[in-house]
Amino acid sequence: GAVVSQHPSWVICKSGTSVKIECRSLDFQATTMFWYRQFPKQSLMLMATSNEGSKATYEQGVEKDKFLINHASLTLSTLTVTSAHPEDSSFYICSARAQKVPGLAGGNTYEQYFGPGTRLTVT
């Protein structure tokens, strides 16, 4: 259980275009989803937190008008990189948090399950 999918797994786009990345929790409902970015040989950097039905909360330094996040349902969040530039090339990873993990007794665990990531290259 606790599977998160992400699509596409890789994308190459031209500078100035927009790219949409989808993140889905397949077998649980995710009240909270997170979007991270990771540059080579660096740790994960949290970009934003999204809760279903409300506006995303962006981390300091992340442009909310450039990285549009929509969390339309309990199983789907999307990240749109608008007017992409080469410096936006990175590995984008979503994660989903379930309040109750399927098959796990008890209350909140706050465990996060990561999607496989999307490698974005902007040319």
Partner 1 sequence: QKEVEQNSGPLSVPEGAIASLNCTYSDRGSQSFFWYRQYSGKSPELIMSIYSNGDKEDGRFTAQLNKASQYVSLLIRDSQPSDSATYLCAVLTSGTYKYIFGTGTRLKVLA
**CA proximity to 69, closest of 20, 112, 113:** 20
Which of residues 1 and 16 has its CB atom nearest to partner 1 in the complex? Answer: 1
**Among positions 5, 29, 49, 82, the unique one binding partner 1 when judged by CB under 8 A:** 49
Considering only residues 16, 85, 116, 123, which one is a binding residue for partner 1 as defined by CB under 8 A? 116
The Cα–Cα gap between 73 and 99 comes to: 15
| Strand positions, DSSP E, 17-66 | 19-25, 32-38, 45-51, 57-58
Q: Is residue 89 close enough to count as binding partner 1 by CB under 8 A?
A: no
- Residue 109 engages partner 1 in binding (rule: CB under 8 A): yes
Site residues for partner 1 per CB under 8 A: 34, 42-44, 46, 49, 93, 109-117
